[in-house]
Amino acid sequence: MTLLGKKILITGASSGIGEALALALAQKGASLFLVARRADRLKELAEKTSADILPIDISEAGFLSALEKKWGLHFDVLINNAGLALGRGPYATSEMSDSERMLQVNVEAAFRLTHALLPKMLELGGGDILNLCSVAGHWTYPGGAIYCATKHALWAFTKALREETCGKNLRVMQISPGMVESEFSEVRFKGDKDKAREVYQGMTPLAPSDIARMIVFMLEQPRHVCIDELITMPTDQGSPTTVSRRTT
Ligand SMILES: NC(=O)c1ccc[n+]([C@@H]2O[C@H](COP(=O)([O-])OP(=O)(O)OC[C@H]3O[C@@H](n4cnc5c(N)ncnc54)[C@H](OP(=O)(O)O)[C@@H]3O)[C@@H](O)[C@H]2O)c1
């Protein structure tokens, strides 16, 4: 399927996977609509991609009305990418506000946005919805109770939607990466760059551009091909808790 001129909405496009994907899709001639909170980062990206941008928090009550006012509700492709993990400690001693934030952004905001855009896709004869899940949607690990729960929720949502919309020319897909080096760990450790660096020490993580390349591959398949889910990890990672690290 050609992506030339396709209207593609990406949430969380100001860094990491979303940013890399915007750059890759611009190369394909897609018409990009990018959302994230950091306006400066989005503006820089808009200069490189000719994208239209909306700097906003997707968990805000006014997000959907702002989106509709600016762009309407019809897109050919929705990429639910914005998401975060906060904290890596035991649930018992975790901050409740961190849990709430992950649930708001990773789950509620993605579900609400999909609910707003899906009817138009169905009315106009189809579209693609691709969700950024994670290996944390397949496995669990200590210190990841809520993050894993949010990605399990997104996994289940994607699977159910896929069945529900079968026969409607709608491809509901997800990609589930393992370790990708982006701002993800820095956000998780609340700005502690040393802790974030340690996550990738002695191993070679995936790059955001690796995930972008795979998403482009998924989207470019002919219409009758739906890659329901792609699970990918660095060669140095076997599961969220199995990572091979070089010591020298
Ligand atoms: N990195 C990994 O190892 C990994 C592995 C599996 C899955 N994932 C998933 O991949 C997705 C992208 O993560 P990433 O690795 O690219 O991390 P990242 O570099 O931290 O990017 C996250 C993006 O989400 C945006 N965002 C966060 N909260 C938002 C909000 N409330 N409203 C609007 N935008 C918001 C951020 O932009 P602003 O701060 O400007 O709002 C940023 O653009 C996430 O869903 C993550 O869970 C990541």
163 assigned to some structural domain: yes
Q: What is the pLDDT of residues 76-125, one digit of tens each?
A: 999 999 999 999 999 999 999 999 999 999 999 999 999 999 999 999 99
247 assigned to some structural domain: no
- Substitution site in 98, 182, 206, 232 for ligand 1 pocket (most atoms within 8 Å of beta carbon): 182
Q: Encode burial over 67-100: b for 16+ CB neighbours within 10 A, e otherwise.
A: beeeeebebbbbbbbbbbbbbbeeeeebeeebbe
pTM over 0.95: yes
Q: What is the pLDDT of residues 12-44, one digit of tens each?
A: 999 999 999 999 999 999 999 999 999 999 999
244 assigned to some structural domain: no
Q: What is the pLDDT of residues 48-65, one digit of tens each?
A: 999 999 999 999 999 999
245 assigned to some structural domain: no
In the residue annotation, 151 being an active-site residue is answered as: yes
CATH number at residue 177: 3.40.50.720
| Range(s) of the domain holding residue 84 | 7-237
- pLDDT band at residue 1 under the 50/70/90 scheme: confident
229 assigned to some structural domain: yes
pLDDT of 25 reads 98
Q: Does 248 score more than 80 pLDDT?
A: no
Q: What is the pLDDT of residues 65-76, one digit of tens each?
A: 999 999 999 999
59 assigned to some structural domain: yes
Q: Ligand 1 within 6 A of 82 CB?
A: yes
Q: Ligand 1 within 6 A of 179 CB?
A: yes
Residue-wise DSSP of 161-206: HHHHTTTTTEEEEEEEES-B-SSHHHHHTTT-HHHHHHHTTTS-PB
228 assigned to some structural domain: yes
* Ligand 1 center–CA 106 separation, angstroms: 9
Number of domains in the chain: 1
50 assigned to some structural domain: yes
